[in-house]
Structure 1
Amino acid sequence: MPHHVAPQLMFEGNAEQAMRFYVSLFDDSDIVRLDRYGPEGPGREGSIMQAEFTLAGRRYTCIDSHIAHPFSFTPSISLFVECESREEFERLLEQLSEQGETLMPSDDYGFSTRFAWINDRFGVSWQLNLA
């Protein structure tokens, strides 16, 4: 039986907003499954108990943790995007960096013609690369 390996993103109340935003950015992306907490909890009713989505054909999962944690996302793991055109690079950079944080500004760093590393408004880290 094959194993399925997928990154799981843990949010604290905005999983659905993040997932819908990410799916809107990439072709071949969709929400596959969305299970919500009901009135019995333990999470806030309507928040994401477990969801599965695809980005550019790759599988991801996410949850809304009902427990406050002393940690969040870290750039030590990031989503790496190979952009096919300068237009795609600029569009993704603009949308993902809105209300986010720039770790490495868009530039030619020698290993590609254009590269940027950002944390989006949800705290998820993205590396954008134009070869």
Structure 2
Amino acid sequence: MTEVHPFLWFDDQAEAAANHYTSIFDDGRITRIKKNGSAGPGEPGTVLTVDFELAGLRFTALNAGPQFPFTEAVSIMVTVDTQEELDRYWAALIADGGEPGPCGWLKDKFGLSWQIFPKLWWELRYDGEPAKSEAIMAAMLKMGKIESSVIQEVYDNA
């Protein structure tokens, strides 16, 4: 069976990142840690890769040096049912050095970009009513963290 999953390049924080991410997601879990052998990058016995899962999606984190830092060109999107979930993920992912960004985006303390969006946004955005869709798009473009109540209010009044 073919499998596709994100492979994340870290300088030397793969295990710390995997531990951080799996502590945030209720079903997060580390499934494997592979240590360096005598050949390959890194010192023998240090962590080379960490496989982990978040919300049923498998990730691999690699310790491979500082050559390729994360950019906003790739992000992990999290879609949630409630504002409380959105607030919890947002706070946990920007904790300890992360940065809030515009339009529901943030960078975590490892530099990885995330988008945290309510399902409500997607439902309203693509409901077939162009004027309302444009109104909530304009509102979202003015936000940092997405606020579901504001999106709903803008939609209702458009």
TM value normalised by structure 1: 0.81
Q: What is the Cα deviation at residue 5 of structure 1?
A: 0.9
More helix by share: 2
Return the letter of the residue paired with 1:19.
Answer: A
* SS of match in other structure, 2:49: strand
Aligned residue number for residue 112 of structure 1: none
Greater relative CO (CA pairs within 8 A, separation 6+)? 1
- Whether the aligned pair in 2 keeps the contact of 1:47 and 1:64 (CA below 8 Å) is no
Higher Cα radius of gyration: 2
Aligned counterpart, 1:107: none
* Unmatched 5+ stretches in structure 2: 121-158
Change (3 A) 1:6 1:23: same
String of CA shifts for 1:57-92, please: whole Å, max 9, x gaps.
111111100x441x3111111000011211111111
Question: Are 1:75 and 2:72 counterparts?
Answer: yes
Q: Which residue of 2 aligns with 1:103?
A: 101
CA contact (8 A) 2:14 2:61 kept: yes
* Cα distance, 1:29 vs structure 2: 1.7
Structure 1: tracts of 5 or more residues without a match: 105-114
Residue of structure 2 equivalent to 1:117: 105
User: Contact 1:10 / 1:62 at 8 angstroms: preserved in 2?
Assistant: yes
* Rounded Cα–Cα distance in structure 2 between residues aligned with 1:39 and 1:18: 24
Distance 2:43 2:104 in 1: 36
Report the identity percentage: 36
Measure, in 1, the Cα distance between the counterparts of 2:44 and 2:91.
33
Question: TM-score, normalized by length of structure 2?
Answer: 0.68
Q: In the TM superposition, what is the alpha-carbon distance from 1:41 to its structure 2 partner?
A: 5.6
